[in-house]
């Protein structure tokens, strides 16, 4: 009699623990929060276009190298009022953008007016290419800004601040 009572209690405890485990699994699988990660076809997390710090890594297929004593060229597209701001290598810039599905177009950009002898050509090229952007694609943590032919003219990488 004592052994059957122990077996019944053991089975009850196992059933109870199994029920809890299944409930936790169902809750985890039914997570419908907007904070779930997006993944690309390779299973890597895909960065968001908006409110992400994008560091310039390539212009017209050429690598952009930031010297140790320089700030990196970057941009951020803010959700609020479709504002963009960034740094072109010498000057800070700001302006507006329009965005619809994979289409992206920058409005007129304004910039501070400092002169940096070594960086002006690179900055001018960056601003010119931004004015030519018509669309974008994101693959993982890389943002490609494309011209009207769909050719990537700028390549940027998502940077996450700690």
| Residue range 22-40, pLDDT digits in tens | 443 434 444 333 333 454 4
The pTM is what?
0.73
pLDDT at 12 over 70: no
pLDDT at residue 29, as a whole number: 41
pLDDT at 108 over 70: yes
Give the rounded percent of residues in the chain with a pLDDT score beyond 90: 65
Query: Cα Rg for the chain, rounded, in angstroms?
Result: 25
CA 35 to chain centroid: 14
CA pseudo-torsion sign 100, 106, 108, 109: positive
Q: What fold is seen in the domain 53-159?
A: Lipocalin (2.40.128)
Residue ranges per structural domain of the chain = 1-36, 53-159
pLDDT at residue 129, as a whole number: 98
pLDDT at residue 88, as a whole number: 97
pLDDT at residue 45, as a whole number: 85
């Amino acid at each position: 009699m004592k052994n059957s009572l122990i077996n019944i209690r053991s089975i009850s405890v196992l059933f109870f623990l199994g029920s809890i485990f299944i409930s936790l699994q169902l809750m985890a699988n039914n997570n419908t929060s907007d904070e779930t990660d997006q993944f690309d076809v390779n299973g890597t997390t895909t960065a968001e276009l908006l409110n992400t710090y994008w560091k310039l890594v390539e212009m017209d297929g050429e690598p952009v190298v930031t010297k140790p004593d320089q700030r990196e060229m970057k941009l951020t597209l803010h959700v609020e009022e479709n504002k963009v701001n960034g740094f072109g290598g010498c000057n800070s810039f700001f302006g507006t953008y329009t965005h619809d599905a994979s289409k992206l177009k920058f409005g007129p950009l304004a910039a501070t007016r400092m002169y940096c002898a070594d960086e002006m050509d690179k900055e001018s090229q960056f601003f010119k290419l931004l004015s030519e952007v018509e669309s974008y694609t994101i693959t993982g943590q890389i943002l490609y800004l494309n011209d009207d032919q769909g050719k990537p003219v700028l390549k940027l990488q998502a940077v996450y601040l700690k």
